[in-house]
Structure 1
Amino acid sequence: MNNGSNRTVHPGCTGQPPLAMDIILNLDIFGIILYSVLTFMAVVSMLVFIEECIYIYKKVPAHKKSIIIWVNGAAPMIGSMSCLGMWIPRATMFTDMFSACYFAIVVFKFLILMLEEVGGDEVFLKRGQKHKLKISTGPCCCCCLCLPHVAITRRSLFLLKLGAFQFALLKAIFTMLSIVLYTNGTFDLSDLSITGAAIWINPFVGILTIIALWPIAITFMHLRVALRSLKIIPKYAMYQLVLILSQLQTAIINILALNGTIACTPPFSAPARGYMMSQQLLILEMFIITLVTRLLYRRQYDPLPRDEEDADNENTKMVALPESA
């Protein structure tokens, strides 16, 4: 019987991703230009980050240096790891894991950055004595408008930090667990069966991500007016953009590749080609974000008043909630 099931499949569509040398030997003129331009972008991103680190070390107060460097390094670090994954496709899973671990730390660092920009924990608590936190916000409870507002206390501040820190800690633990299971042959991103480790680990990490983003959103909604002069809104937008591009975009492309929507082009199988497209897009996107974040963080600002009574305008005050809250 002659039907579609008798069609032969190219060997390159079923095997592992090609070796780095195989890619280099098979590059055409367009491929050489594409790989050269993307590699140049990744190198420039890292050089811009190094130059920014030098500037921060010289100009920024000591208690903010490491935090700002961590946050600034998200885009160039992800771009550099994506460049390695582009040249060495068989290492893509590991480069993605490293990028995800780094960004998990950045999530926590961004919360600390907002607190430090307002003056630190003590100043935050002092300035927030008359205010309450609105916890009915995304990504967890944006539809739960009936949730009560929470007083700003040391306990609530600790819970906010804990919510973000758990992601940085547990993401590193699950990454090490995934690598150990991979060496044992029991962790495969393309294995979506109920007995596969990836189908259990990845959704759980996704839940941890949502939980970690919640305290960041709560803190940002409360401090967005007080920190407006420090460009906190575009900084938060860049942080969210890195999250969407590095996590959601990559997941969508990989799902499309696993479903066969992205066709195989030897020597790349469909999943490998999906990973390759994701890496190339990330290099370009992180390059642009690196340049934008450089403009946002390479600035000198006057410190905020330590007390709201000392503020000369409403733009340096926290967001006040109705008394009925």
Structure 2
Amino acid sequence: MDNRSTMDPRCMEKPPFAIDIILKLDVFGIILYSVLTFMATVSMLVFLEECVYIYKKVPNNKKSVIIWVNGAAPVIGTMSCLGMWIPRATMFTDMTSACYFAVVVFKFLILMVEEVGGDEAFLKRAGRYKLKISTGPCCCCCLCLPHVAITRRSLFLLKLGSFQFAILKIVMTILSIVLWTNGTFDLSDLTITGSAIWIGPFVGILTIIALWPVAIIFMHLRVTLRTLKIIPKYAMYQLVLVLSQLQTAIINILALNGTIACAPPFSAPARGYMMSQQLLILEMFIITLVTRLLYRRQYDPLPEEQREVNENTKMVSVTGSA
């Protein structure tokens, strides 16, 4: 109570308006905001240029998924830039980024299947193999889990596992906004009666469930798609996930706990959000440039698999019965 009584009253206020930030920027602040805004703008321009390239050069069955996956970093960077300039909109910009990435999780799984040639080609190539499901993030320690045959049903279940996140994340976001307008959703309210403490973990569980099928397919196709740079592509996808979700959550928790100090006109939580937005703009700018290099290539079909050479190397195969 003593600390609160001696705290600057501005540390207890809501995040400042955009005009208040602009009027109080010093020379360093002007340079910082200008550079970060420039990075976010360049990221979006690079993405738009890449969309033109994909539209002209990429087969129709891959255009949509590649554009979605390529857009993860620039969209998150742009939303972070908006959140940096308009702190009171941070919750909405973060939710928009999270909803977009929820779709990207599903699209990346579809991308790997399409790189093989689509569902039919995937089933034809992988029909004699079995899926190893003891992988992260759900079951990496459960080595006793049986291997699953690759069938239309198992492929459908894998797609469904990721698709549910794309749908339910949007539903949970709409619900959060509705509750927020009613004054019953507050990210800083971690009491048992608060809605955020229930929605947050539920979305976390949905995220883990959605990431699991993507990891299963990647482990199965990582050798087959090695010439298409699927490993660095997967690494970039995972990096976007870690930075946009885990890093942001850690910074926000540190701010709520008081580890990140108040700096008027920013309260501790608002300052934490601001730091998170600024870091994301820089990180997404770098990832955008790297992603452009990975996806800007000739999209020729994969060569036919040579069974006698690639039987045990092209895919994660299982010899013997399940």
Q: How is 1:286-301 mapped onto 2 (pairs within 5 angstroms)?
A: 286-301=284-299
The equivalent of 1:216 in structure 2 is 214
2-structure distance, mates of 1:5, 1:95:
32
**Is residue 318 of structure 2 the alignment partner of residue 317 of structure 1?**
no
Describe the superposition over 1:232-279 as per-residue Cα deviations: whole angstroms up to 9, x where unpaired. 000000000000000000000000000000000000000000000000
Q: Is the 8 A contact 1:229 1:315 kept in 2?
A: no
The equivalent of 2:41 in structure 1 is 43
2-structure distance, mates of 1:229, 1:91:
42
CA-CA distance at 1:310 after TM superposition: 7.3
CA-CA distance at 1:8 after TM superposition: 1.9
1-structure distance, mates of 2:305, 2:16:
60
Q: How is 1:273-292 mapped onto 2 (pairs within 5 angstroms)?
A: 273-292=271-290
Q: Is the 8 A contact 1:311 1:317 kept in 2?
A: no
The equivalent of 1:139 in structure 2 is 137
The equivalent of 1:120 in structure 2 is 118
The equivalent of 2:202 in structure 1 is 204
The equivalent of 2:185 in structure 1 is 187
The equivalent of 1:23 in structure 2 is 21
Q: Give the match's secondary structure for 2:288.
A: helix
**Is residue 96 of structure 2 the alignment partner of residue 98 of structure 1?**
yes
2-structure distance, mates of 1:321, 1:310:
14
1-structure distance, mates of 2:251, 2:202:
20
Letter in structure 1 aligned against 2:146 = P
The equivalent of 1:65 in structure 2 is 63
Name structure 1 gaps, 5 residues minimum. none
Among all aligned residue pairs of Structure 1 and Structure 2, give the percentage whose two residues are the same amino acid.
83
Q: How is 1:248-287 mapped onto 2 (pairs within 5 angstroms)?
A: 248-287=246-285
The equivalent of 1:53 in structure 2 is 51
Q: Give the match's secondary structure for 1:308.
A: coil
CA-CA distance at 1:5 after TM superposition: 4.7
> Could you tell me which of 217, 239, 249 is aligned with 1:241?
239
Q: Is the 8 A contact 1:71 1:110 kept in 2?
A: yes
CA-CA distance at 1:215 after TM superposition: 0.2
Describe the superposition over 1:155-187 as per-residue Cα deviations: whole angstroms up to 9, x where unpaired. 100000000000000000000000000000000
Q: Give the match's secondary structure for 2:6.
A: coil
2-structure distance, mates of 1:301, 1:77:
24
Describe the superposition over 1:191-226 as per-residue Cα deviations: whole angstroms up to 9, x where unpaired. 000000000001000000000000000000000000
2-structure distance, mates of 1:313, 1:58:
33
Letter in structure 2 aligned against 1:234 = P
Letter in structure 2 aligned against 1:198 = A
Q: Is the 8 A contact 2:244 2:280 kept in 1?
A: yes
CA-CA distance at 1:12 after TM superposition: 1.4
TM-score (norm. length: structure 1): 0.96
1-structure distance, mates of 2:241, 2:51:
22
**Is residue 145 of structure 2 the alignment partner of residue 129 of structure 1?**
no
Matched length: 322
Q: Is the 8 A contact 2:131 2:316 kept in 1?
A: no
Q: Is the 8 A contact 1:308 1:316 kept in 2?
A: no
The equivalent of 2:152 in structure 1 is 154
Pair 238,315 (structure 1): closer, same or farther in 2 beyond 3 Å: farther
TM-score (norm. length: structure 2): 0.97
CA-CA distance at 1:322 after TM superposition: 3.0
Name structure 2 gaps, 5 residues minimum. none
